[in-house]
Chain A
């Protein structure tokens, strides 16, 4: 397993530090915890790791109501009760009512799988603690059937977090950690390039300049991120906007076209328009 190395894919640019963190996690078979601004490709990472290493992917998306147990298995007592009322034969075998969760599925996988635990911070504050043993030993016990489920191959576990809650220390100690920084201009150009190969250089340069200028506007509630940039470029291409239009120069003087794709919050749009308006009034051309 150690001979397989993740180096990014044709559709995902991974920086050196990210590659190192992923490879360390793959080699030592520990989970990797990925944090970063929304829209910097945290979830995408697991998908790309699975793809580039040729491994099956299991996704477990966490919500505020998710319990750790649900990832392992659930005992559908209600269905069993209903079946017993109807006199169904299935009712005699309790294992008919054990519903497997994503973690169990990953443990049973024939090949070493990649398991994505997405947005772990959405769940209750105790959630990560409830998974300590499962992630450490890669096994758990099914009380209803008195069965020990052990992973056939220790899965590569990718955990993402948006920092809404602090994660417990005991949990953090078992993981590798990587914080995805917002990409610099150069990396961003590479990222755009893998998504839109053959994009006119001029358009790319102007689009990136306009984008970073919007990001620099102070006081935005939600700064546009990589995924917003990619959407925006898609729109620019669809509308066939020439690069000259983007070169309005200062973002303060001209509103970039289709900026609705970059700013997702009405207050931000409002603030942005106000700034442009103020600037025009102060420096009439």
Chain B
């Protein structure tokens, strides 16, 4: 009886397996969930969901399957942070915009209509003025141009005039847990390994033991050495926001792979280009910044510096003081870049844009010159040659 539910979970993007379904059925057979719906819900959750990131998704599918659709609206609204709903709606809107929303029957109606359409619609849609999808004039969806539009998640930002951006990317750091496709990248990064023995001596050094024992007239003399570790140190700087939205996925994969491959990985975010400060937490980019000078002083020149960015911007942002799009920078980005390169001689730039397009963007050319041509496409082949340069 649970088979349709099982398929619904799988369609919802959860990797529930047959083993897990059988476990659930076995548990139900032994009478664990006999008493109530709540018990069944807890049991199903404990046996089918194995990652807390999927709990919310499971809850919504469970609600849709077992209670009917009307409850999903509440869940859906809960999935969006309260701040967005409250502040965005009340404070951010101008009188004009509010009047426009009234045209659709007010904010509440907008939300309700959204839910109805989510339920009606079950496949991807592009264009048109009713369905949720991309590039339409419906109030719902991404890439739309309706002033009272509700921006849906998953997609990046294009036209930033939507009333609410449900785009979780705006308040979420790069998710380094994306596993799909990271294996290849991990294998490529593995070439950057440099083994060294450091720390407590906890392994038997066979050769040395034999040698020392022989010298000791056959009396055993145990020699120990520390275990070998990957000693390579990496400083990763990721461009985030704006034109990088198109490349979020590949960057997440890269970040995720690097996170698990290098024990000593430090990462910072920047927007478009390097200036006097970088940040570690994208949600708090305006509050908690790390001065670039501190980074240069803190990390030794044995760190390998890897930039990930599309290098697509106005050339002013690189060569002029005050060129930054976000703030007033006293010194041009190029100066900061040069300083970083002086401190960290082993540096590369990985560009997610295809190599063919590099020549059409003046800023990409500029960055390439600054980097002494050490710019590589963010592909496996590009990564390979990049890592050869780093060695």
CA distance A174 to B20 in the complex (A): 8
- Scan residues 10-62 of chain A and give those whose CB is less than 8 A from a CB of chain B: 16-17, 20-21, 23-25, 27-28, 30, 32-33, 35
Which of A78-86, A143-151, A222-230, A248-256 forms contacts with chain B?
A78-86
- CB <8 Å contact, A17 and B202: no
Whole-angstrom distance between the alpha carbons of A85 and B221 in the complex? Answer: 11
Chain B neighbourhood of A23, CB < 8 A: 32
Query: Contacts A28-B27, A35-B52 given: A176-B284 contact, CB under 8 Å?
Result: no
Residue B120 at the chain A interface, CB threshold 8 Å: no
Residue of B nearest to A20 (CB): B42
Q: Which of A95-103, A165-173, A187-195 has 4 or more CB atoms under 8 Å from chain B? A: A165-173
- The answer to whether A65 touches B202, judged by C-beta atoms less than 8 angstroms apart, is yes
Q: Are B220 and A24 in contact (CB under 8 A)?
A: no
| A20 pairs with B39, CB closer than 8 A | yes
A172 and B50: CB pair below 8 A? Answer: yes
Give CA–CA (A179, B49) in the complex, Å: 10
Name the residue of chain A whose CB is nearest to the CB of B36.
A16
**B119 beta carbon closer than 8 Å to chain A:** no
- Return A174 CB to nearest CB of chain B, in Å: 8
Q: How far is the CA of A32 from the CA of B287 in the complex (A)?
A: 40
Give the residues in chain A near B46, CB-CB below 8 Å. Answer: 17, 20-21, 24-25, 32, 176-178
The complex places the Cα of A125 from the Cα of B183 at a distance, in Å, of 13
B220: chain A residues within 8 A (beta carbon) = 81-82, 85
**Which of B46, B260, B281 neighbours the largest number of chain A CB atoms within 10 Å of its CB?**
B46
Q: Does B92 contact A (CB under 8 A)?
A: no
B contacts with A, residue count (CB < 8 A): 35
Q: Is B372 an interface residue (CB 8 A)?
A: no
- The answer on a CB contact under 8 Å between B42 and A17 is yes
Whether B164 sits at the interface, judged by CB under 8 Å, is no
Residue of A nearest to B47 (CB): A176
B263 → chain A closest CB, angstroms: 9
Q: How many A-B residue pairs have CB under 8 A?
A: 74
* B63 smallest CB distance to A (angstroms): 16
Question: Is A203 in contact with chain B by the CB < 8 A criterion?
Answer: no
The reply to whether B32 and A173 form a contact with Cβ atoms under 8 Å apart is: no
A2 at the interface (CB under 8 A from B): yes
Would you call A219 an interface residue if the criterion is a C-beta within 8 Å of the partner chain's C-beta atoms? yes
Closest residue of chain B to A30, judged by CB?
A: B23
The answer to whether the Cβ of A116 comes within 8 Å of any Cβ in the partner chain is: no
A255 to B13, CA, bound (A): 46
| A165 contact set on B, CB distance < 8 A | 260
B38 in the interface, Cβ–Cβ < 8 Å? yes
The answer to whether the Cβ of A210 comes within 8 Å of any Cβ in the partner chain is no
Residue A156 is within 8 A (CB to CB) of chain B in the complex: no
A175 at the interface (CB under 8 A from B): yes
The verdict on A21 contacting B42 (CB below 8 Å), with A169-B15, A173-B17 known, is yes
Bound together, the chains give a CA A196 to CA B338 distance in angstroms of: 60
- What residues of A have a CB within 8 angstroms of the CB of B38 in the complex? 16
A27 contacts B30, CB within 8 Å? yes
| Residues of B1-55 whose CB lies within 8 A of A | 15, 17, 19-20, 23, 26-27, 30, 32-33, 38-39, 42-43, 45-47, 49-52, 55
- Check B227 for interface membership: any CB of A closer than 8 A: yes
Given contacts A16-B38, A78-B222, A219-B284, contact A177 B30 (CB under 8 A): no
Q: Measured between alpha carbons, how far is A82 from B222 in the docked complex, in Å?
A: 10
| Docked CA distance A32–B47 (Å) | 10
Contact A125 to B45, CB < 8 A, known contacts A33-B50, A65-B227: no
Whole-angstrom CA separation of A81 from B50 in the bound complex: 46
Asked whether A24 lies within 8 Å of B47 as measured between CB atoms, the reply is yes
Which A residues lie within 8 Å of B294 (CB)?
none
Residues of B within 8 A of A85 (CB): 219-220
In the complex, whether B288 has a CB less than 8 A from a CB of chain A is yes
User: Is B43 a contact partner of A20 (Cβ separation < 8 A)?
Assistant: yes
Residue of A nearest to B28 (CB): A24
> A160 to chain B: closest CB distance in Å?
13
B204 at interface, CB cutoff 8 A: yes
Q: How far is the CA of A175 from the CA of B49 in the complex (A)?
A: 10
Assembled-state Cα–Cα distance A165/B177 (Å): 9
* Chain A: minimal CB distance from B371 (Å): 33
Interface residues of B in 80-103 (CB under 8 A from A): none
The smallest C-beta distance from B215 to any residue of chain A, in angstroms, reads 15
A residues near B122, Cβ cutoff 8 Å: none
Q: CB < 8 Å: which of A17, A25, A169 contacts B45?
A: A17
Instruction: Say whether B123 faces chain A, with CB atoms less than 8 Å apart.
Output: no
Residues B45 and A28 in contact, CB atoms below 8 Å apart: no
Among B212-230, those with CB < 8 Å from A are 219-220, 222, 227
A238 to B42, CA, bound (A): 40
Bound: A50/B222 CA distance, A: 42
Pairs A–B under 8 Å by Cβ, sample size 22: A16-B38, A17-B46, A20-B33, A20-B46, A24-B32, A24-B43, A27-B30, A28-B23, A28-B26, A33-B50, A65-B227, A81-B220, A82-B220, A169-B50, A172-B50, A173-B17, A173-B19, A174-B19, A175-B50, A177-B47, A219-B284, A219-B287
10 interchain residue pairs of minimum CB distance: A20-B42, A21-B46, A172-B50, A179-B52, A17-B42, A176-B46, A177-B50, A173-B19, A24-B27, A85-B220
